[in-house]
Structure 1
């Protein structure tokens, strides 16, 4: 064989080898990725030919598959429209599974989760038509409805937890959207709906309760600062703090004022009264005394910085590193670069109500097959201890004073002791503050913990305060569960 023929044969052999390697790589190593691409029409058609699992709140389906007369066989339906949009997410032939449980629990809903191997094997052996797994949620429809109605046309979020277990009782983010608009089989209509949602400045696809842009917490963070003070052993509920009308921040020419403009209780205030009246200067001074590390450590014990899944991924809340004294002062009152999700704020309230124990939040109570057999059941899990039992009891008494005689009186419920904390968070010069409230009730035996944030003061605008705007929403959500 002469050299030109030999070289040509070598080139052809290399090409065949490359082709063989490429096809092997695609079949064995990238097949799953290609199959799972949202735009893979063949995979989506196969998915739509199988009944997807239901998402259930109580005994009602908030997401289900309905038979059609077209090539898709099934179409996803959301009977309650936007009410549960950020819980369910959407399942779209054009855009795939997105947001909420439709995305986070996609493999369970389709029945393709590796944990279901033996169940799928049984389907093959018995000839039974494969179907997805049903998700039974922890949501209390009464709490969800109260949160939905309370927010109304305001932007913000509400999260409610069972303090004892971590079960999520309400998860609402506004603006919301109607997942049905993305679930249709007319691709043109679906694309138009997608464009409207994408162009909406309110960003309705963002779940403000657990993700998206985190918020400055304002004065609700004072509960974390108070916890650090009590846990240090150097402070008690009756420790007296300086509460002047204005506090000069060290190393600056800036004065930090109290919200009302005057001193707290004549200029000297107990820790309890400082929390009840939300005294900025007292807590700023307390933050500088405790120091940055103490604030960070205490926040971490409540769950700040943790990567949580409910099973949707939760954006970690944070307290900044490397703070100087003025930054410590501002961080202690929930300003500077402290950032939180409403879920994290609800976890702080829940931990105080649960004798200091932080529970893993979860949204799925149990999963069932189409034959109603239980596949899996969530067991409450303790993440850790935020504070001692004694500190939790002290914080409960202090937060009860917020509602009985302080800034949270609009969260009162007749015949029920309520513990709470308001917050008014500045987030940009010239912009109305965010209005916060966190609470739990009954204070002596909590059944529910709530966090509410209303962006830019909601309908109150620049006149907003957490106790005025968000406390009534928290009250109604608590009442829906404990006094229906």
Structure 2
């Protein structure tokens, strides 16, 4: 073979080698990346030709697929989207999946390994493949009450079953219509997305788990827990001056509206929590020390990292504390203390459950297309932030808040209700944020724990958030045979 032919042959061989290597790289190394690419129309067509499973609450679908005459066979619909958009998220041609649509995509799409035998059976029987269902823990009555109570308000509600950790209600307000992000019209999807993005806050953000805020006086429950675990009792008399000078500074810390907590300048711990005395808890936090306050917060799940339930939850935190002056302010839920509404509900739930903090969960069970159960969530203890004895004292103190103090508007006739209000300063130009966390049930048997967060409301946590909590807890108790 002469030299020119040999060069051509070598060049062709090199090109074929590169072609083979590239094909293997694409099919082996990048296969998962390309398969998951939103621009892969073959994968999109395959997904939309398969009936996606339903997301179900109390036996009723709140997200479902229906057959169409479009090029894409199935269209995602969201009955009662106004109630459940916070949880379902959307299933979008353009923007992918969010919420439960994302967290449980494997089951819903039918690609989960737990449905492998079903897929094999479909091949042999010629049956059209389909996805499985996701049964949520939400209670329809509690969810409706939360949405109604938050109408026109920026805020969030989370309710838990204290004994199991099951999420009974999860609402972030304002809501949105996931169907408009899940249509088959990309231009319309983008236009609706742009309109949502122009809002402040963006309704697609799930405030209950994805945002954290200063809890204000709700954090006094954590400081109370630390004190009681260290030998204080609810009747221990603590300093409660009209004004407290922050350690190492000349800066005074005042009570709400400059009020006096007690003419004597001291009061029992239960009374300090009942009226939410700032000076008492600022001084108490300093007496306990930063390490003890942090330990108590961590025991409730704060500064323990984010987790999934299965929605991702951002970490709540005490934040940096530089010296006793900052510790005093942190002890009343300001400074750098930041928690999610879910974390607020977890604090109330642990106290209501005699000190056991249950792991929150939103999915009750996963079902195959034939409705057989492929997975069931079993309640798990996340930790024990306080002893049963201390939890009992905290329960009594929280009941006093509702019966005699700032949480009176959370009262429910015929039930024992405990709670803690919070009013958290944001900036000089913005309204304060309002909180209420609490529990309710027949005497000695709390059935529901709740956290209500209202952003920038005119008033206090007792004025604004406590009535929302009352409506949610009352609706749940009435609907579940406890009236």
The alpha carbon displacement at 1:93 in A equals 1.9
The TM-score with structure 1 as length reference comes to: 0.95
The corresponding residue for 2:239 is 242
The alpha carbon displacement at 1:201 in A equals 2.1
- Secondary structure at the aligned position of 2:451 is classed as strand
The alpha carbon displacement at 1:307 in A equals 2.4
The corresponding residue for 2:24 is 24
Residues 22-78 of structure 1: per-residue CA shift (max 9 Å, x gap) = 321221122112111223222111111000000011121110001100111100000
In terms of mean alpha carbon deviation, does 12-21 or 470-479 score higher?
12-21
The one of 278, 281, 304 aligned to 1:280: 278
In terms of mean alpha carbon deviation, does 264-273 or 163-172 score higher?
264-273
The one of 472, 477, 482 aligned to 2:472: 477
Say whether residues 1:369 and 2:368 are aligned partners: yes
Q: Confirm or deny: 8 A CA contact 1:292 1:323 kept in the other structure.
A: no
The alpha carbon displacement at 1:157 in A equals 0.3
- Secondary structure at the aligned position of 1:196 is classed as helix
Distance 1:21 1:147, change over 3 A: same
CA distance in 2, matches of 1:10, 1:242: 91
**Structure 2 unmatched ranges of 5 or more:** none
CA distance in 2, matches of 1:12, 1:326: 76
The corresponding residue for 1:165 is 164
**Structure 1 unmatched ranges of 5 or more:** none
The corresponding residue for 2:395 is 396
CA distance in 2, matches of 1:293, 1:27: 54
- Secondary structure at the aligned position of 1:265 is classed as coil
The alpha carbon displacement at 1:115 in A equals 2.7
The alpha carbon displacement at 1:313 in A equals 0.5
- Secondary structure at the aligned position of 2:281 is classed as helix
Say whether residues 1:262 and 2:259 are aligned partners: yes
Say whether residues 1:408 and 2:407 are aligned partners: yes
The alpha carbon displacement at 1:399 in A equals 0.4
Deviating above 4 A after TM superposition, structure 1's stretches of 4 or more consecutive aligned residues are 1-15
Q: Confirm or deny: 8 A CA contact 1:244 1:262 kept in the other structure.
A: no
The alpha carbon displacement at 1:253 in A equals 2.5
CA RMSD of aligned residues (A): 1.7
- Secondary structure at the aligned position of 1:210 is classed as helix
- Secondary structure at the aligned position of 2:357 is classed as strand
Aligned residue pairs total 476
The corresponding residue for 1:208 is 207
- Summarize the alignment of residues 321-336 of structure 1 with structure 2, pairs less than 5 Å apart: 321-336=320-335
The corresponding residue for 1:174 is 173
The alpha carbon displacement at 1:301 in A equals 1.1
CA distance in 1, matches of 2:21, 2:329: 60
Distance 1:364 1:3, change over 3 A: same
- Summarize the alignment of residues 115-264 of structure 1 with structure 2, pairs less than 5 Å apart: 115-211=114-210, 213-233=211-231, 235-264=232-261
